[in-house]
Amino acid sequence: MNQKGNFIVFEGIDGSGKSTQIHYLIEHLRKENVPCYATMEPTDSPIGSVIHNIMTGRIKTDNKVIAALFAADRLDHLLNEVNGLAAKVENGTTVISDRYYFSSYAYHAVDMPMDWVIQANEQSAQILRPTVNIFIDVDPDTALERIAKNRFERELFEKRSRLIQVRENYLKAFDKLKDIENIVCIDGNQTPEQIADQVWAAVYPFIQGTKGEL
């Protein structure tokens, strides 16, 4: 197959329903015989595991260090020799990622200038820009209720006031980059099935030509 794969990214505040939607999308893509691979950030690489330890409070460091670690984790996610995403997409696999650089713009711009964060991720943007960024938009209180039902450990970023700022930063980043990024916003307060239908409508036009041989 000569055709490149797509790179579909899900964005949203914690508890917005990204992983739920990724399950639906993978099922749909498999039915259409599209070779696909699901992944997430932070990753489970050594850099990602430092990030997980920071998020759960086991390691303490400065916010600028955290932002830089996420940028490094992302570059490794793209370029590492074993399962780097850039090569997968190049070889025709459609990659679906739970978070990418808009998460950095939204979460780290709470503590530092957004343009700094965008600049720190410029290499990733040059290497692989998403075919589409799908933003599942939910109200922070709804997201927190969902999280409270399912998680025992609240991570650093899941505090209410922070989530409100993060959502606002997402909207600000989308507005800033609307001319160079493909962004689809979906109302995440609908049922999972309604959201999945809208995700499919956003993705379907891109998968023509990427289907494997039957």
* Two structure tokens written together for 178: 């609307």
Residue 15 corresponds to which tokens in the numbers above?
């508890």
Residue closest to ligand ADP when measured from CB atoms = 17
Phi, psi of 91 (to 5 degrees): -90, 10
Neighbours of 105 (CB within 10 A): 24
User: What is the widest separation between alpha-carbon atoms in the chain?
Assistant: 51
2 sits near ligand ADP (criterion: CB under 6 A):
no
Residue 140's identity, in one-letter code, is P
Asked if residue 99 binds ligand TYD (CB under 6 A), the reply is yes
**Least distance between ligand ADP and beta carbon 32 (Å):** 22
157 binds, among ligand TYD, ligand ADP, none (CB under 5 to 8 A by kind): ligand TYD
| 170 binds ligand TYD, rule: CB under 6 A | no
Binding residues for ligand ADP restricted to 8-67, rule: CB under 6 A: 12, 14-20
Does 152 sit near ligand ADP (CB under 6 A)?
no
Written as six digits, the tokens of 36 are: 């696909």
Query: Residue type at 111?
Result: D
To ligand ADP, the closest distance from the beta carbon of 171 in angstroms equals: 17
Contact partner at residue 99 from ligand ADP, ligand TYD, none, CB < 5 to 8 Å by partner kind: ligand TYD
Residue 205 C-beta: closest distance to ligand TYD, Å = 26
- The CB-of-28 to ligand TYD minimum distance in angstroms stands at 21
Stretch that binds ligand TYD, among 84-92, 103-111, 183-191, 202-210 (CB under 6 A): 103-111
Of the candidates 202, 192, 209, 194, the residue with the CA atom closest to the CA atom of residue 23 = 192
- Contact between 157 and ligand TYD (CB under 6 A)? yes
CA 121 to chain CA centroid, Å, is 14
Are the C-beta atoms of residues 100 and 80 closer than 8 Å to each other? Answer: no
Distance of closest approach, residue 211 Cβ to ligand TYD, in angstroms: 29
Residue 160 beta carbon to ligand TYD: minimum distance, rounded to whole angstroms: 13
Which of 7, 8, 9, 14 binds ligand TYD (CB under 6 A)? It is: 14
Can you read off the two tokens belonging to residue 130? 């998403």
DSSP 134: E
Q: What is the secondary structure of 16-59 as a DSSP string? A: SSHHHHHHHHHHHHHHTT--EEEEESS-SSHHHHHHHHHHTTSS
Q: Which residues bind to ligand ADP, rule: CB under 6 A?
A: 12, 14-20, 146, 150, 191-192, 195
